Structure 1
Amino acid sequence: MHDVKWIRDNAEAFDAGLAKRGVEPHSAQILAIDEERRTLIQDLQEAQSRRNDASKAIGKAKATGDEAGAQALIDEVAALKTRIQDGEDRQRQIDEKLETLLASLPNLPLDDVPVGEDEDGNVEVRRHLEPRQLNFKALEHFDLGEAGGLMDFELAAKLSGARFVVLKGQLARLERALANFMLDLHTQDFGYTEVVPPMLVRDPAMFGTAQLPKFADDQFKTGAPDDEDAHWLIPTAEVPLTNLAREAIHAEEELPLRFTAFTPCFRKEAGSAGRDTRGMIRMHQFSKVELVSITTPEASIDEHERMTQCAEEVLKRLELPFRTMVLCTGDMGFGARKTYDLEVWLPGQDAYREISSCSVCGDFQARRMNARCRPAGEKATRFVHTLNGSGLAVGRAMVAVLENYQQADGSVAVPDVLKPYMGGLETLALGG
């Protein structure tokens, strides 16, 4: 959500920021609604003041025997009451109109974000390790997983339809091992607090992190569309973790708050027809370890770099080749001001594929959640800054391990860092 007061003072900068994201100017429309609202509020305040004065004058008129004057005042108070009620109804309509418009507009990019239309405008920042040279034809993860029946898409389709998978045996354990390794790293080495959040949330939580209203079609919802008791299945643990700060005032000396969680995530993948139709790259249900930070405005940029490095460390310890990209304005998420994508090398696809996105959102989400902080010794509050990132997508991490650690006989070596989580197992005999 954007700050109308800031837009009043920075209309050109606001429109320029939207233009970088390919969005037409909106400041004139916003400020026209805002001016109408402010004029109406002033009129209501004047009417309420006059009603109070007139109400007091009724008693005085009656005390002096001025019945005609008293009746005139009574009629005036009644007219003012109607005027105020109508004005308050009008204000609610204007407030809703303004909020709906502001909620439809994406966050403004930071100045150092490259301007571009799509993923072709993304810029590589750094890379780690060169892809391993295989002396055999690299298989994709689904060929490796299906060989021993441990990755079953057909069975999942019988249960749930397309874009689901059943993992069994060593691959089920590998997913658990990856998640436990990531959680241990983030909690023990990087100071994140592990959370087990709800998987079902209400509308305000989804609105707070900007999944609603714009991305409703990409979400799964329980119950009928008009059911007030219906819940949304979380598309990412970003939703419940970030909303831990909602409608609260946090002491600035207690920030940053850093949370991590391992959860299933649910997405309809609307608009992805024909993309990654085989395998575990793009699923309706997938597992992810999420990172969320709640911090002060001054610390958020440094926190973004730190969070990205935490996600990178997972790939480094798994010894997987990857590159870090800064997304351009046309490829960046709706609520982000700047995003780094980590892209891991997949030899089966002969390509780098996204495995993590780490974003700084400024106060965009905090305004939607009313999440604030207060400096020590001060009465005034301000909005916190929020950040989120994948640390990592567990299913895609499994894909990367299978493809990068595959061996000529169809088996897969277990990365050293995962062996303690796999009971000392050295190799996954997937074809056995």
Structure 2
Amino acid sequence: MTNTVNTVIIGGGILGCASAISTQKRLRKLNGNSNEKVCLIEKTVLSSGISARHSGIVRSANAVKKAAKLAKNATDYWKNLVSIWGVQCEYESNGAIWIARDTGSGKNEDWTKLAESLSDLDIQFGQIDKHQAQEICTKNVNLQDDEVFYFEPGAIQFDPTKVRRALYEAIKINKIDIKEKTNVKGFVTGNDGKITKVLTDNGDISCENVVNAAGAWSPSIFDSLGINIPVSIETVNVVNWLTSQFDIDYKMPIIADYKNLAYFRLWRNGEIHMHQPRHRNTREIARTFSENPLHITGGDLVNDPTNQSLGYGQIRIYEDIARKRFAELENSIYSSGYRSYFDITPDLKFILGKDDKVGNLFHCLGSGQGFKYAPVFGELIADAITGDGVFIDEIDEFSISRFDDNYMKNFWDQVSGSENTLVAEAASL
């Protein structure tokens, strides 16, 4: 049996859900109560992949100016989610403290430039002194004299389980056709190269548009169309420390610790939740791509049970980092730990908007930042499909077309040559 819809969204993570909700609402707004439907396909259950393992942090600070602008829009949407999704989700608004090394004269030059850039976008992100930072961080956080501190008061944080519940509610309210536990088997294309039908193990779907929100699964799904989607996954370890609730101040902000390379936030039941940021070195990113066979395994690597737990050595590394930042952690208890993942692109920027080869295929890939951008990316995809909207001019910088042959050759050169081989690396140990 073949169903017919306007748009098929592939991937039921938070970006797929956001794209489905915004697109369906937009179609109804433009065409009245028409039968133009959106169908959301997910191979397991909604928000079960990388979306199930995020830390729920929403912040606007970003060194890429256009990304920072979108992040500010996203934060505003998160705070008033009912206006675009029809549901509200509670959040905590204790802000974020950013910590960096003092590079001289009580400043960090790169972060000073970042603060100036964000000020142009009306994003509050300013340097504060150690005394002010200590008052905001609360007494249980250790701050050092060789550090500089920046405060982003607009940063907020969510409980991911509550966000997942809100996604299901929004899908129901907006009457999205949902196909969970459904695998995409292939595509049928017309003479113009556009996708006319999505083939699944739960029935085929004729459509006018397709949205790729499959994240780490994208390379294997769209390989049959001859589309090379440059997405891989980077492992990130997550640890939760169970502390005394007498030691924790529930007003503690998000702590973005770029001296020790860790993010901290309060978690459920008085836990301190920590994870590492993404690699930002081009060579390390390229190595992640070269060592990760996503075209073979797909994103199923994320849900493989053998990839869930942490080893003793990994936990101890995190414990050493956390002890440097939290005064009472040595008396705390390891509560839980697991592996999470960032789905990343070669330049760590998103892939958004229309594909450069298939005219009715649109990409919504967050490059490890999908959660915080979800509401605005959903609106952006709706803009791209309908050809109109407030974010239509924000797409070009993040088009998949930037990853042309010349770009990818230069990228792969980062891991080629004798100085970058595993033999050379082993010899240096």
Structure with higher Rg: it is: 1
Q: TM-score range by the shorter chain?
A: under 0.3
TM-score by structure 1 length? Answer: 0.26
| Higher relative helix content | 1
TM-score by structure 2 length? Answer: 0.26
